[in-house]
A and B are shown apart, each in its own frame.
Chain A
Amino acid sequence: GAVVSQHPSRVICKSGTSVKIECRSLDFQATTMFWYRQFPKKSLMLMATSNEGSKATYEQGVEKDKFLINHASLTLSTLTVTSAHPEDSSFYICSADGRVTEAFFGQGTRLTVV
């Protein structure tokens, strides 16, 4: 199956700093990538839909100025958590549409803000 690589897998940052998470489709081109947030023992909450070459579409309640998404190429989307606070600590997962109707997921990034 198609491979989506997410980096880093774990990151610890100080409160007030920014953190960038990368999502790469390694063997296919993805015009659309999705960013999810998952709280412990909870489901995946869609944060935003990232479309190559255009602005991301954010879900209601997600601060677009805090969670900056860039999809500059068909194989890379980045999520930047700006001015991170402890409440931003979570597990973030990206997915990419390799083909119609199937999403391939990255390994996830555990963000801890101290």
Chain B
Amino acid sequence: AQTVTQSQPEMSVQEAETVTLSCTYDTSESDYYLFWYKQPPSRQMILVIRQEAYKQQNATENRFSVNFQKAAKSFSLKISDSQLGDAAMYFCAYFNTGNQFYFGTGTSLTVIP
């Protein structure tokens, strides 16, 4: 079974600064997708960014970007110009051809004013 590891249970960042959340995964498949989801206190899961494994170019969405290293099976999320609204739990997720999501254990991000 695929595993997704987030080694940082908690992270903090000063408002307007940049923070990077790390994620590694284990798979023998070559075709898959990776996601970062955000879960604010409301508990609603919100898609932050998605990366297709067959694409070499790193995905970006406004202030959010990823560093996808396929050989190293690493998928980190960079949040630039951090805002107070970015405070949340962040989950890294792996999606395979078997139509299943596997989630990491999450990183709780605190944004310091």
B-contact 0/1 string along A19-63, CB 8 Å cutoff: 000000000000010100010011110100100000000000000
Q: How many A-B residue pairs have CB under 8 A?
A: 47
Chain B residues within 8 Å of A, Cβ to Cβ: 33, 35, 37, 42-45, 47, 50, 52, 89, 91, 95, 99-106, 108
Chain A interface size band reads: 20 to 34
Q: Which residue of B lies closest to A103 (CB)?
A: B101
Which of A68-76, A80-88, A94-102 lies at the binding interface? A94-102
Give the one of A34, A38, A101 with max B CB within 10 A.
Answer: A101
Chain A residues within 8 Å of B, Cβ to Cβ: 1, 32, 34, 38, 41-44, 46, 49, 91, 93, 95, 97, 101-103, 105, 107-108
Give the one of B42, B99, B106 with max A CB within 10 A.
Answer: B99
Residue pair B100, A46 in contact (C-beta under 8 Å): yes
Selected A-B contacts with CB under 8 Å, 11 pairs: A34-B100, A43-B105, A43-B106, A44-B103, A46-B100, A49-B99, A91-B43, A93-B45, A97-B99, A107-B42, A107-B43
Q: Give chain A nearest CB distance to B10 CB in angstroms.
A: 10
Residue pair B91, A44 in contact (C-beta under 8 Å): yes
Distance of A97 Cα from B43 Cα, bound (Å):
19
Distance of A95 Cα from B39 Cα, bound (Å):
14
